[in-house]
Amino acid sequence: QSALTQPASVSGSPGQSITISCTGTSSDVGGYNYVSWYQQHPGKAPKLMIYDVSKRPSGVSNRFSGSKSGNTASLTISGLQAEDEADYYCSSYTSSSTRVFGGGTKLTVL
Amino acid sequence: EVQLVESGGGLVQPGGSLRLSCAASGFTVSSNYMSWVRQAPGKGLEWVSVIYSGGSTYYADSVKGRFTISRDNSKNTLYLQMNSLRAEDTAVYYCARDQGLNFGYWGQGTLVTVSS
């Protein structure tokens, strides 16, 4: 049950786009379309932003999008805004019926 | 409106036990997959356990044999019984609705501190 691999930090200026990667194995990310992404602001509970690789829950801005290629999933945020500054986590269902998270990525809006 | 409210956290000595509760409203716990997720201070999210609507349960290797997930259908409440607690179990514990194999709803979390 190794954690998925995410970059520790990414940054971008307002209006720019950034992409956060999430690398797993064929037993999790690569094997299922059950990758989800979460946004967490300090002291708050995580919030679902993307599910099933690329679907957005109701109420989530269309500036957030997700994709997957092989064992790597990606979250793209376009038109960066100050409020997007937060920690982001990916998660995947696994072949053992467990779930696994990535280590988290701190997004800084410059 | 879906709501999840955790309780039961606190300070416990190493080797001790604690039972966390997660009271749900707005949906039926027994008809959904429900998970516990924890976050150690300053660290990332770690999945802990899931209980399926059919009753099957699964655990992270780090807690297997020490933690037990369960539910009380009459109280619409999810539980996590934690035994043989270690310092590394110190974390905020969240319950989350795991339906669709994603965590669509989260509670506010309850802090568990394992220390002598």
Query: How far apart are the C-alpha atoms of B32 and B9, rounded to whole Å?
Result: 24
Q: Which residues of A touch B61 (CB under 8 A)?
A: 1
What is the three-class DSSP state of B99?
Answer: helix
Q: Which residue has the tokens 């990414």?
A: A10
The verdict on a CB contact (< 8 Å) between A3 and B107 is no
DSSP string, A7-76: -SEEEE-TT--EEEEEE--TTTTTT-S-EEEEEE-TTS--EEEEBTTTB--TTS-TTEEEEEETTEEEEE
For the four alpha carbons of B71, B72, B73 and B75, in that order, the dihedral sign comes to negative
Residues of B in contact with A66 (CB under 8 A): none
N-terminal to C-terminal alpha carbon distance within chain A: 35
Query: What per-residue confidence (pLDDT) applies to B99?
Result: 85
DSSP helix/strand/coil, A62: coil
Comparing CB atoms, the residue among B45, B58, B108 nearest residue A98 is: B58
Residue A14: its pLDDT value, please?
Answer: 97
CB contact under 8 A, A99 and B94: no
Check residue B84 and give its pLDDT. 98
Q: Which residues of A touch B62 (CB under 8 A)?
A: 1
pLDDT per residue as tens digits for the range A30-56? 999 999 999 999 999 999 999 999 999
Rounded CA-CA distance A28/A4 in Å is: 9
Question: Contact A104/B59, CB-based, under 8 Å?
Answer: no
Q: Residue B100 has what pLDDT?
A: 87
Mutation for testing the B interface, residue in A44, A99, A100, A106 having most B CBs under 10 Å: A99
Q: What is the pLDDT along chain B (116 residues), one digit of tens a residue?
A: 999 999 999 999 999 999 999 999 999 999 999 999 999 999 999 999 999 999 999 999 999 999 999 999 999 999 999 999 999 999 999 999 998 889 999 999 999 999 99
A45, closest residue in chain B (CA to CA): B108
* Region for B74 from its dihedrals, namely left if φ exceeds 0, alpha if ψ lies in -120 to 50, beta otherwise: alpha
* Under 8 Å between Cβ of A75 and A49: yes
Is the CB of B60 less than 8 angstroms away from the CB of A51? Answer: no
For an interface test with A, the pick among B36, B45, B69, B110 (most A C-beta atoms closer than 10 Å) comes out as: B45
How many beta-carbon pairs below 8 A join chains A and B? 65
- Distance between CA A4 and CA B55 in Å, rounded? 27
The list of chain A residues with pLDDT below 50 reads none
Radius of gyration of chain B (CA): 13
- What local confidence, expressed as pLDDT, does residue B2 receive? 95
Angstroms from B74 CA to nearest CA on chain A: 26
Q: Tell me the one-letter amino acid at B90.
A: T
Name the closest residue on chain A to residue B103, using Cα atoms. Answer: A48
C-alpha to C-alpha distance for A27 and A4, rounded to whole angstroms: 11
Distance CA A38, CA B50 (A): 18
**Cα A64 to Cα A33: distance, rounded to the nearest angstrom:** 17
Separation between Cα atoms, residue B112 and residue B12, nearest integer Å: 8
- Separation of alpha carbons A73 and A42, rounded Å: 24
